[in-house]
């Protein structure tokens, strides 16, 4: 496999290696590039598209667009309010910029070494703080969460965030890759506030993305 393919698959593999990604659900059928997405070759719990015809390129600058909120009927928000959706969309945008900017430039204009990142918020689940506390502190519940963690599954009553992403060459407009996955922390993660788990998922997404960029530069 070409180095470029390995690099781009690496960028998207982060969606399922953070501490687990839930099984695919029928959501986000109106997401751009979703018709091209296929089951991840190394994990059947997420979808991705890699443009194998895109030119080889490494990137050191990034345009992070404001996170869109998916409005299709097959969203994964349930009864989550529009205010909370906007809050998490803003957090995702800011967190991606914060983490990436620790090592790389965040810019506003296209360039030869600049990647455009487009993220879409497709679904959210709050942590049920009361039930999470009960199952976490209960020996039986703790043991079950350990088992779920080993299998990479979502812990009982733990929140999550479902994101779709598209990575483009900013100058040519070429779609490099795209993914969609439901991200949650490790099943035993201490998550006793409603949005903690979803925010942890975003932070790990951003950090893993940055780590993959490091590897593409040989760092």
Q: Please tell me the predicted confidence (pLDDT) of residue 144.
A: 42
With a cut of 90, say whether residue 6 has pLDDT above it: no
- Which pLDDT band, with edges at 50, 70 and 90, does 42 fall under? low
With a cut of 50, say whether residue 166 has pLDDT above it: yes
The string of DSSP letters for 21-70 reads BPPP-S--TTSTTGGG-EE-TT-TTSEEEE-TTSPP---SEEEEPPPEE-
Direct distance between the N- and C-terminal alpha carbons of the chain, in angstroms, rounded to an integer: 21
- The percentage of the chain sitting over the pLDDT mark of 70, rounded to a whole number, equals 68
Tokens 């810019």 label which residue?
107
**CA-CA distances (angstroms) from residue 24 to 27, 67, 83, 131, 193?**
8, 21, 26, 24, 25
Q: How far apart are CA 6 and CA 168, in angstroms?
A: 16
With a cut of 50, say whether residue 132 has pLDDT above it: no
**pLDDT mean across residues, the chain:** 76
Q: Which residue has the higher pLDDT, 134 or 105?
A: 105
Dihedral in degrees, nearest 10, Cα atoms 215, 103, 161, 25: -30
Span of 41-50, 54-63, 71-80, 204-213 with lowest mean pLDDT: 41-50
With a cut of 80, say whether residue 207 has pLDDT above it: yes
pTM of the model: 0.78
CA atoms lying within 13 Å on the CB side of residue 78: 8
| Residues ≥6 apart with Cβ < 8 Å to 135 | 141, 142, 144, 145, 155, 156, 157
Segment 130-136 shows an average pLDDT of 47
């Amino acid at each position: 496999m070409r180095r470029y393919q390995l690099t781009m698959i690496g960028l998207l593999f982060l969606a399922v290696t953070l501490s687990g990604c839930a099984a695919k659900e029928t959501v986000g059928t109106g997401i751009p590039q979703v018709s091209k997405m296929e089951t991840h070759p190394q994990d059947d719990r997420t979808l991705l598209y890699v443009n194998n015809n895109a030119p080889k390129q490494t990137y050191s600058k990034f345009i992070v667009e404001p996170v869109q909120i998916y409005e299709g009927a097959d969203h994964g928000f349930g009864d989550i309010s529009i205010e909370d959706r906007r809050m998490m969309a803003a957090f995702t945008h800011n967190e991606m910029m914060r983490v990436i900017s620790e090592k790389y430039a965040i810019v506003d204009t296209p360039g030869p070494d600049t990647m455009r990142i487009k993220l879409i918020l497709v679904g959210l689940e709050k942590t049920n703080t009361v039930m999470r506390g009960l199952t976490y502190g209960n020996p039986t519940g703790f043991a079950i969460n350990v088992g779920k963690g080993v299998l990479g599954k979502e812990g009982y009553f733990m929140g999550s965030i479902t994101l779709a992403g598209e990575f483009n060459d900013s100058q040519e407009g070429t779609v490099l890759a795209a993914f969609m996955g439901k991200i949650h922390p490790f099943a035993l993660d201490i998550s006793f506030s409603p949005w903690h788990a979803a925010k942890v998922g975003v932070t790990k997404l951003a950090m893993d993305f940055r780590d993959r960029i490091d590897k593409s530069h040989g760092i």
